[in-house]
Structure 1
Amino acid sequence: MNNDHALAYYLEDLWSKGFKLSDEDIHFIYFGKNSTNASEWKTMIAVRSTLKYQHAFDPSFFIAILEQIARDSIKTKKQAYEVLEKRGLSSKRVT
Structure 2
Amino acid sequence: MKYYQSLADYLEKLWDKGFKLTDEQVRFIYFAKKFTNSSEWHACVALENTLKLKYHFNGSFYISLLELLNEYQVGTRKEIVHLLKQKGIF
TM-score by length of 1: 0.82
5+ residue gaps in structure 1?
A: 91-95
By how many angstroms is 1:79 displaced? 1.7
Measure the CA separation in 2 of the matches of 1:73 and 1:65.
12
Instruction: Name the structure 1 match of 2:18.
Output: 18
Measure the CA separation in 2 of the matches of 1:32 and 1:72.
17
Residue-pair matches, total: 88
Alignment of 1:72-83 (within 5 A): 73-83=73-83
**Deviations 1:26-66 (CA, angstroms, capped at 9, x unpaired):** 11111111111111111111101110111110101111111
TM-score by length of 2: 0.86
Measure the CA separation in 2 of the matches of 1:61 and 1:44.
14
State, as a whole percentage, how many aligned pairs show the same letter: 43
- Runs of 4 or more consecutive aligned structure 1 residues displaced over 2 Å after TM superposition: 71-78
